[in-house]
Chains A and B, each alone.
Chain A
């Protein structure tokens, strides 16, 4: 990505200060790029204890980046009385205590628009794979079974399938655009009905499931959406039903999902996320109607470039007192 900035005019001490909040196992992506714009403070790079580092710098920290799923709790916010902005690097926000942010007047930016197209591509790829048994067939051929077994089950048509999208935000909308081109019929569930959207709205996920052949989960994980896909929803979806999850593992009651799949009570699943990553229920490894993905729906170089641009733009806007590009409206 071309660095569009001119020569930096400030020394590192004069660049705006940004705290890096990260779990030790997570590295800050694009650190070099960010260093040319901001003075990064990272407690893990200091020999001091974490708390001592934070309290020494707390008065100068107005903005922080929280890396991946690194949590931001109310207790943590208490250590940073001058904090006004949290920039998240992941599509989800469930690791940030949003109501604590609201009550302290702290703005939060999300990064989902950087990823929406790639996540949508992955969701459609998983759906095509499950319906047409692409990975299962690939295994069949690689196991050298084609000359031996000759017969192999064929997959199902996409056109005419009723696809229920759970969460019609930026990711859900990109999914809808792609799925329409395959001739699927789209309906959705969202917190609120969206006025300008031509697809039928269902107020409950269960009703959506009852009227769908496929559910694609694209919504955020919140208290309300935790286990929103439970046994009732799966029963409503039915024995031919397929679930695709590119949101968060805990949107689905995973234990129930595994049982339903093992017992043949739903038709199949394509899963990029799980309740306890990187652990995946072993029963799923035995199933041919399931496609498993190691939480990489966002993972393309292009989406990372878009993410860097979004992070830098949001931080620069903040430090110039300009409007943020992707602020979360915390209701």
Chain B
């Protein structure tokens, strides 16, 4: 393990190791924030060995792994980590982790959704205002010199009074609801289960929610149940003036059907931060003025990243001190 000792020779050799297969973006940006007296990192990506061989040779006693969306924790990887007890993801999403296998083996998972809720809600509402009031489209109009030539710009649509259906009323969804109320929107929601003490009308499925909404904001996680949950049927129920905002995961929407609906005018517009096959975006969307496109980072801010670092380190330190974890993902 000489090449690893070179990099970590300033740390005591008996600190427990946290495996990183591929570094989360926040780790690459702020590595110094992850330094701890309670653990050290085992950096698989720095090795020239193929991954499975590296894990077999060096990760036998690893109890914790740090990952994020781009670093999948698959069944095969879990099988190569016989001592694994904890998966810490720096992301809000957990769909890149084989949760069934973790559950089966009693491996606990923590995520960082809590630190992104406010920023995610700001982004979702910002995208909704943009689509409804055509802010980015009007900006293009002005930048292309069309204002003196063409005169007035087409009307947008008022936010107040709009019925906004939130898909997934977790931290993001609740934060978005609070903001939407300040604009005079009526909030509705769909969730796996109805939430007690929440003042908004509950719809047990997305189709019914869409039928009663002017806009949908997707805030839920990607699971087998939610994959392609927003399909053509749901979009037709939402209607020709309907707007979809997605800051969650691209695959929650049937992207091919959404593009068709947008091109055919079956829905009114969309604000999208996530796509099924990032960084590829369906080219048809580039021609549309009623769509706002974002490269999967509208939720991120430096503050959010800092908070994610702290939460990740906090979870790891708690784990290695046998203290309760800060943000373990509960099965609902």
CB of A33, distance to nearest CB on chain B (Å): 17
CB of A249, distance to nearest CB on chain B (Å): 13
Contact with A along B132-143 (1 / 0, CB 8 A): 010110111111
User: Is A173 part of the contact surface with B, judged by Cβ < 8 Å?
Assistant: no
Q: In chain B between 141 and 182, which residues have their CB closer than 8 angstroms to a CB of chain A?
A: 141-143, 147-148, 151-153, 155-161, 178-179, 181-182
B243 CB contacts on chain A under 8 angstroms:
none
User: Is A118 part of the contact surface with B, judged by Cβ < 8 Å?
Assistant: yes
The reply to whether B304 and A125 contact each other, CB–CB distance below 8 Å, is no
Complex Cα spacing A252 to B199, Å: 43
CB of A288, distance to nearest CB on chain B (Å): 11
The reply to whether A152 and B158 contact each other, CB–CB distance below 8 Å, is no
B303 CB contacts on chain A under 8 angstroms:
156-157, 160
User: Of the candidates A118, A141, A152, A181, which one forms a contact with B178 in the assembled complex, judged by CB atoms under 8 Å apart?
Assistant: A181
The reply to whether A157 and B304 contact each other, CB–CB distance below 8 Å, is yes
User: Is B295 part of the contact surface with A, judged by Cβ < 8 Å?
Assistant: yes
Complex Cα spacing A47 to B148, Å: 30
The reply to whether B126 and A278 contact each other, CB–CB distance below 8 Å, is no
CB of B116, distance to nearest CB on chain A (Å): 11
A137-B298, A154-B300 known; A125 vs B126 contact (CB < 8 Å): yes
The reply to whether B302 and A292 contact each other, CB–CB distance below 8 Å, is no
A121-B133, A134-B298 known; A158 vs B182 contact (CB < 8 Å): no
User: Is B309 part of the contact surface with A, judged by Cβ < 8 Å?
Assistant: no
- Considering only CB atoms, which chain B residue lies closest to A297 in the complex? B133
A178-B182, A293-B135, A299-B153 known; A280 vs B118 contact (CB < 8 Å): no
User: Of the candidates B142, B297, B304, which one forms a contact with A152 in the assembled complex, judged by CB atoms under 8 Å apart?
Assistant: B297
A180 CB contacts on chain B under 8 angstroms:
182
Complex Cα spacing A122 to B135, Å: 8
Main secondary structure of the interface of A (DSSP, over half): helix
User: Is B255 part of the contact surface with A, judged by Cβ < 8 Å?
Assistant: no
Chain-A contact segment, one of B202-210, B222-230, B278-286: B278-286
CB of B277, distance to nearest CB on chain A (Å): 10
- Considering only CB atoms, which chain B residue lies closest to A305 in the complex? B158
User: Of the candidates A128, A154, A294, which one forms a contact with B125 in the assembled complex, judged by CB atoms under 8 Å apart?
Assistant: A128
Complex Cα spacing A294 to B125, Å: 22
Q: In chain B between 7 and 31, which residues have their CB closer than 8 angstroms to a CB of chain A?
A: none
The reply to whether B122 and A278 contact each other, CB–CB distance below 8 Å, is no
CB of B81, distance to nearest CB on chain A (Å): 29
User: Of the candidates B129, B158, B179, B295, which one forms a contact with A141 in the assembled complex, judged by CB atoms under 8 Å apart?
Assistant: B295
User: Is B266 part of the contact surface with A, judged by Cβ < 8 Å?
Assistant: no
- Considering only CB atoms, which chain B residue lies closest to A271 in the complex? B142
User: Of the candidates A137, A138, A157, A279, which one forms a contact with B122 in the assembled complex, judged by CB atoms under 8 Å apart?
Assistant: A157
A121-B133, A181-B181, A300-B157 known; A129 vs B126 contact (CB < 8 Å): yes
User: Is B301 part of the contact surface with A, judged by Cβ < 8 Å?
Assistant: yes
A140-B295, A300-B156 known; A128 vs B301 contact (CB < 8 Å): no
Q: In chain A between 275 and 330, which residues have their CB closer than 8 angstroms to a CB of chain B?
A: 277-280, 285, 291-294, 296, 299-304
The reply to whether B297 and A154 contact each other, CB–CB distance below 8 Å, is yes
A134-B126, A300-B155 known; A279 vs B280 contact (CB < 8 Å): no
Contact with A along B181-193 (1 / 0, CB 8 A): 1111000000000
User: Is A177 part of the contact surface with B, judged by Cβ < 8 Å?
Assistant: yes
User: Is A81 part of the contact surface with B, judged by Cβ < 8 Å?
Assistant: no
The reply to whether B142 and A155 contact each other, CB–CB distance below 8 Å, is no
User: Is A182 part of the contact surface with B, judged by Cβ < 8 Å?
Assistant: yes
A125-B129, A294-B138 known; A152 vs B143 contact (CB < 8 Å): no
The reply to whether A125 and B135 contact each other, CB–CB distance below 8 Å, is yes
Q: A residues near B, CB below 8 A?
A: 117-118, 121-122, 124-126, 128-129, 132, 134-135, 137-142, 144, 146-147, 150, 152, 154-160, 177-178, 180-183, 277-280, 285, 291-294, 296, 299-304
Q: A160-B303, A182-B179, A299-B153 are in contact. List 5 more A-B contacts (CB 8 A).
A: A154-B305, A157-B122, A181-B178, A300-B157, A302-B160
Question: 9 nearest interchain CB pairs?
Answer: A128-B126, A125-B129, A181-B182, A302-B158, A278-B147, A141-B293, A146-B279, A292-B142, A135-B136
7 contacts between A and B (CB under 8 A): A128-B123, A128-B129, A157-B118, A280-B147, A285-B143, A294-B147, A300-B157
